[in-house]
Amino acid sequence: MTISKLAIATLAVFAVLNLNSEASAGHARAKPASCPQLNAIDPDADGSMTLGEALRAAKRKFRRVNIDGDRTLEGRELAAVMPAKAVPAADTIRKNGKISRLEYLIFVKRAFRFANTDNDRTIECDELLSKRGRPLYRLLK
């Protein structure tokens, strides 16, 4: 009789574990749908971009846009990432009309915080494609 009670208890535990795993699997499928623009920037394609992922993308973008290979973006290099009226806002350290890598990363961090309207420390597709998120997308794509 004790063996059958033990078997029933074991089956009950497995049933509960199975229900929990199915519920969590269903929850994992319920995450927000991502978009191609976010997937191009987000390396793990989990549907959201963290600040660390955004900064890594910004470093890649800085290297790609820095055609002359110096340590700053100037002139037409800057035109590829931001409008001319945004340059003074990004040029906060040296104030020489050129954007260093550090200044670029600081500007990306501010753009990330501005685009993160729900304050959950991640950027989802709807935030990236919103009016507040488009400048961040331009800095990273």
Residue 28 confidence class, pLDDT cut points 50, 70, 90: very low
Write out the two tokens for 16: 């509960």
**Tokens at residue 15, please?**
């049933």
Position 35 scores a pLDDT of 86
* Residue whose pair of structure tokens reads 């927000």 in the numeric block: 32
pLDDT for 49-94, tens place per residue?
999 999 999 999 999 999 999 999 998 999 989 999 999 999 999 9
Please list the alpha-helical segments (H only) found in the chain. Answer: 2-29, 36-41, 51-65, 76-79, 87-90, 101-115, 125-128, 134-140
What's the pTM?
A: 0.75
How far apart (Å, rounded) are the C-alpha atoms in residues 90 and 73? 11
Domains of the chain, residue spans: 1-30, 32-140
Per-residue pLDDT reduced to its tens digit, 83-139: 999 999 999 999 999 999 999 999 999 999 999 999 999 999 999 999 999 999 999
How do strand 99-100 and strand 72-73 relate by DSSP bridges? antiparallel
Looking at residue 6, its pLDDT comes to 47
Rounded mean pLDDT, 15-40: 56
Q: Quickly tell me which residue has 């497995």 as its tokens.
A: 14
Domain 32-140 belongs to what topology?
Recoverin; domain 1 (1.10.238)
Distance CA 103, CA 125 (A): 26
